[in-house]
Amino acid sequence: MLEIDEISKTIGTKTVLDRITLSISSGASLAIVGESGSGKSTLARIVMALERPTSGVIRFNGIAAPHKKTSDFKDWYRQIQFVFQNTTASLDPRMTIAQSLEEPLTGFTGMGKNERKERIAEYAEKVGLPPHLLAERPGRLSGGQYQRACIAKALVVKPKLLICDEIVSNLDLLHQHQIIELLHTLKIEQQLSLLFITHDLSLLAGLCEEIAVLKEGQLVERFASSAIHASGHHPYTQSLLNAARSLGRRASE
Ligand SMILES: Nc1ncnc2c1ncn2[C@@H]1O[C@H](COP(=O)(O)OP(=O)(O)O)[C@@H](O)[C@H]1O
Ligand SMILES: [Mg+2]
């Protein structure tokens, strides 16, 4: 379904991504892990067609990512949506949550007013956002509610792929688990594929079938998540795993 084909990105003299090749098949999910600065968000923006790679191609169901803001962009964004880590900048503070959720529906679909209203209520419920919050502005929401609203806004257009870039990193452990649980449910119910980006391997349990490890713009390793505890990982992967374990231990103490 999604093909990341030999993607490189150079910014100035720095190679931010070096010939990255990855794929996600329909209904499957992929996690991308790596320390801060490894190029994860740059790759996410390239997949979203928000940024151009220096070389390489992104294809979705065989169609290459659009270059310019042509009508192809609408098709792209109907199929691929994203939630980014920068929590407070994702929703317009002047708009109510309902207005924010309506924006992609007006932009990318030909839905009528009543249909839009129904879809918004449907997705608020799906992500566990109490209906009364739809009339509020984002400033009134807690961190967890805000992230649920962002997920709802991404999903109202029923995309096939959802890119999540560090979306739980700013939440406490309880809310992290709730959001991961929600993604798990949505993944199954909506047959949604995830590209789940995180620096923290401990967050992945059960969510993605495959894990790709990025280090300084290079793909270090790719493995089935069932093999996460197997021996023989790349030393860099092993150091991320060890960090995740000690984090997990601290959390359960
Ligand atoms: N617009 C930019 N200008 C200069 N450097 C950038 C820009 N965007 C990203 N980088 C650099 O690219 C590298 C990867 O960044 P990023 O994709 O944000 O990594 P990650 O999401 O894994 O933390 C970093 O070294 C960052 O400094
Ligand atoms: Mg990032």
Cβ of residue 42 lying under 6 Å from some atom of ligand 1: yes
Single-letter residue type at 36: S
Q: Which helix (H) or strand (E) holds 183?
A: helix 173-189
With a CB cutoff of 8 Å and minimum separation 6, the contacts of 180 are: 168, 203, 205, 207
156 C-alpha to ligand 2 centroid (Å) = 24
Beta carbon of 217 within 6 Å of any ligand 1 atom: no
Structural domains for the chain: 2-91+159-252 (3.40.50.300)
Cα dihedral 222, 228, 230, 234 sign: positive
DSSP 128: T
Q: Is the CB of 119 under 6 A from ligand 1?
A: no
Q: Whose CA is nearest to atom 9 of ligand 1?
A: 42
Per-residue pLDDT of the chain (253 residues; tens, 9 = 90+): 999 999 999 999 999 999 999 999 988 999 999 999 999 999 999 999 989 999 999 999 999 998 866 667 888 888 999 998 766 678 999 999 999 999 999 988 889 999 999 999 999 999 999 999 999 999 999 888 998 999 999 999 999 999 999 888 877 888 888 888 889 999 998 889 999 999 888 777 678 999 999 999 999 999 998 888 888 899 999 988 888 776 655 544 4
Q: How far is the CA of 106 from the centre of ligand 1 (A)?
A: 32
Q: Is 164 helix (H, G, I), strand (E, B) or coil?
A: strand
> Residue 51: CB within 6 Å of ligand 1?
no
